[in-house]
């Protein structure tokens, strides 16, 4: 395998001058995926270990012992001796992981970007080994972005595109980054890596990036400690216990409730949860050092209305997570009630990243989407297109549309499970459809009823596989999530001390 295969441009077929749309950009675009959003190849074993085509490998990888062991970090990799694993491209097929649930392919996002540029050579799909620290991948991205911009400026289509624009300026960079990709992009724009890269960047568009971390990362590290859980969840924890990339996603805001107050997560906490203290310190240092890095022309697309973890408590090494969190006044003091008790607010988010962690600049477009869909849904792609075409007037946030979608991430084939919709006032015009990704003919239109004030549908996965839950509300909003169905009674593991 080519160790630089993750620095590939979308290629082929130049356009003639008269075929260029009026609003095509002359800029070079870099698409940066999120965690688990790049296909990985094990050079020692001579095969791909993440991101294969089809659903059967995914079911086997998560539900059979021994699957995905190649993804675990080795000591030499933690010491910086990488190369065993190579990223070979952006995810092109739907995938799944416990807690993070649906991981959608980037095919639609890349296609949307491609419609905005003067030639496919203007687009770089930057795949990376998402197990490694964001800082490591940021250095690789800085080098790849510089080489990409240089190559594009020398391309014949670049001059044609410049003549097509009013200002005729030379191309600059636009980064389109999903989830962890936003942290990698911020690391790449560290002036200590390339002092001119910020000036050569026109814009940064982040899609659901956890700039302040995500509580769900602590839940992943803590999975199964003291309680029986399905095998996929145990396997994910084993992979992530020493994974720098996952530790970079730990919450960096005050998120731990303790003795009537709230504090930051500490390295000691991370160890008690099942993680790595040194990686936790490295992650805190990364966020602290990068907080002041400028993201030129930054705009963000942020998922809202979905039930999202915001705070946690730790008792005897076990996490309890909450879907509400503390908020602070402008002076940094926490908002309290008349009895001087901390007030907690249910801000919600995209199901993985709560809204205020993904919003670090005034230019925010909010959409009622799940985390994986923030880089795939039509409404999100429309925002990407508008920004690439330099129309910054995206209109008001669409915060009242749609609804919240809550599904189990792993179910047992043949057993009934529930889909819950929140913030639904009426069932009129609301539909819920469950489709098997490996057999589009396997479609269930689930009937919705009321239960405890929420709209609920009951579904059953007929066989092991990956299923898409798609909800459409009366206002035309589409919200989707992926659910993995396994076999053998859920494969519960024994409780761990």
Q: What is the pLDDT of residue 420?
A: 94
Find out if CATH 3.40.640.10 is the number for domain 404-489: no
Confidence grade of residue 467 (pLDDT, cut at 50, 70, 90)? very high
Residues near 389 by beta carbon (within 8 Å), at least 6 away in sequence: 23, 24, 25, 116
Question: 286 versus 475: which is more confidently predicted?
Answer: 286
User: Is the overall model pTM greater than 0.75, yes or no?
Assistant: yes
**Closest by alpha carbon to 34, among 185, 148, 140, 149?**
185
**Using one digit for the tens of pLDDT, what is the confidence trace for 54-76?**
888 888 889 887 779 999 999 99
Q: Which residue has the tokens 């179910």?
A: 411
Q: What is the pLDDT of residue 475?
A: 76
**Using one digit for the tens of pLDDT, what is the confidence trace for 424-453?**
888 888 899 999 998 888 899 999 999 988
Locate CATH 3.40.50.1820 in the chain.
Answer: 1-211+276-304+347-401
Q: Which residue has the tokens 């970090």?
A: 73
Cα gap 354→345, rounded to integer Å:
11
Residue 437: helix, strand or coil by DSSP? coil
User: Strand 465-472's sheet: what is its strand order?
Assistant: 410-412, 478-486, 465-472, 431-436, 439-445
Contact between 29 and 384 (Cβ < 8 Å): no
Q: How far is CA 88 from CA 5, 46, 122, 161, 285, in A?
A: 5, 13, 19, 30, 29
Phi, psi of 29 (to 5 degrees): -115, 140
Helix axes 56-63, 231-240, angle to 10 degrees: 80
Q: Which residue has the tokens 């980037």?
A: 106
Cα gap 174→196, rounded to integer Å:
14
Q: What is the pLDDT of residue 102?
A: 82
**Using one digit for the tens of pLDDT, what is the confidence trace for 341-390?**
999 999 999 999 999 999 988 889 999 999 999 999 999 999 899 888 87
> Which CATH superfamily, name and number, covers 1-211+276-304+347-401?
Alpha/Beta hydrolase fold, catalytic domain (3.40.50.1820)
**Closest by alpha carbon to 71, among 238, 274, 278?**
238
Confidence grade of residue 492 (pLDDT, cut at 50, 70, 90)? very low
Q: How many residues are given for the chain?
A: 497
Residues near 166 by beta carbon (within 8 Å), at least 6 away in sequence: none
Strands, E assignment, 92-151:
95-97, 101-103, 123-126
Residues near 293 by beta carbon (within 8 Å), at least 6 away in sequence: 186, 187, 189, 190, 191
Residue 27: helix, strand or coil by DSSP? coil
Residue 321's CB: how many other CB atoms inside 10 A? Answer: 16
């Amino acid at each position: 395998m080519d160790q630089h295969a993750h620095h590939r441009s979308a290629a082929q077929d130049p356009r003639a001058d008269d075929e260029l749309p009026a609003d095509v950009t002359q800029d070079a675009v870099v698409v940066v995926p999120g965690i688990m959003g790049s296909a990985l190849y094990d050079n020692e074993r001579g095969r791909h270990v993440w991101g294969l085509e089809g659903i059967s490998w995914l079911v086997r990888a998560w539900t059979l012992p021994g699957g995905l062991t190649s993804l675990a970090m080795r000591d030499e990799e933690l010491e910086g001796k990488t190369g065993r694993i190579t990223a070979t491209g952006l995810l092109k097929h739907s995938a799944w992981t416990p807690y993070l649930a649906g991981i959608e392919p980037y095919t639609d996002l890349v296609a949307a970007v491609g419609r905005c540029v003067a030639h496919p050579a203007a687009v770089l799909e930057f795949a990376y080994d998402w197990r490694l620290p964001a800082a490591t991948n940021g250095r690789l991205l800085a080098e790849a972005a510089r080489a990409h911009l240089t190559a594009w400026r020398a391309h014949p289509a670049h001059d044609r595109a410049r003549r097509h624009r009013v200002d005729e300026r030379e191309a600059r960079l636009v980064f389109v980054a999903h989830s962890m990709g936003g942290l990698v992009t911020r690391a790449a724009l560290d002036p200590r890596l390339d002092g001119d890269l910020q000036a050569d960047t026109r814009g940064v568009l982040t899609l659901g990036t956890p700039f302040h971390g995500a509580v769900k990362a602590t839940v992943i590290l803590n999975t199964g400690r003291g309680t029986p859980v399905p095998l996929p969840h145990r396997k994910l924890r084993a992979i992530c216990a020493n994974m720098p990339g996952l530790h970079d996603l730990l919450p960096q805001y005050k998120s731990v409730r303790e003795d009537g107050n709230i504090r930051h997560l500490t390295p000691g906490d991370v160890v008690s949860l099942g993680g790595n203290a040194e990686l936790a310190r490295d992650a805190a240092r990364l966020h602290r050092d990068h907080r002041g890095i400028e993201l030129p022309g930054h705009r963000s697309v942020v998922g809202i209305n979905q039930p999202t973890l915001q705070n946690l408590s730790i008792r005897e090494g076990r996490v309890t997570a909450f879907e509400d969190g503390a908020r602070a006044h402008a002076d940094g003091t926490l908002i309290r009630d008349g009895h001087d008790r901390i007030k907690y607010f249910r801000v919600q988010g995209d199901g993985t990243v709560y809204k205020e962690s993904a919003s670090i600049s005034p230019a925010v477009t909010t959409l009622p989407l799940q985390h994986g869909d923030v880089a795939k849904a039509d409404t999100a792609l429309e925002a990407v297109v508008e920004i690439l075409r330099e129309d910054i007037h995206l209109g008001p946030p669409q915060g009242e549309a749609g609804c919240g979608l809550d599904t189990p991430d792993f179910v047992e084939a043949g057993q009934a499970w529930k889909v819950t919709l929140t913030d639904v006032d009426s069932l009129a015009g609301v539909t819920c459809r469950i489709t098997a990704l490996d057999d589009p003919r396997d479609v269930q239109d689930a009937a919705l009823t009321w239960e405890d004030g929420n709209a609920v549908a009951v579904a059953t996965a007929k066989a092991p596989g990956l299923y898409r839950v798609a909800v459409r509300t009366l206002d035309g909003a589409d919200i989707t999530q992926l659910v993995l169905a396994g076999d053998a009674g859920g494969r519960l593991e024994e409780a761990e001390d």
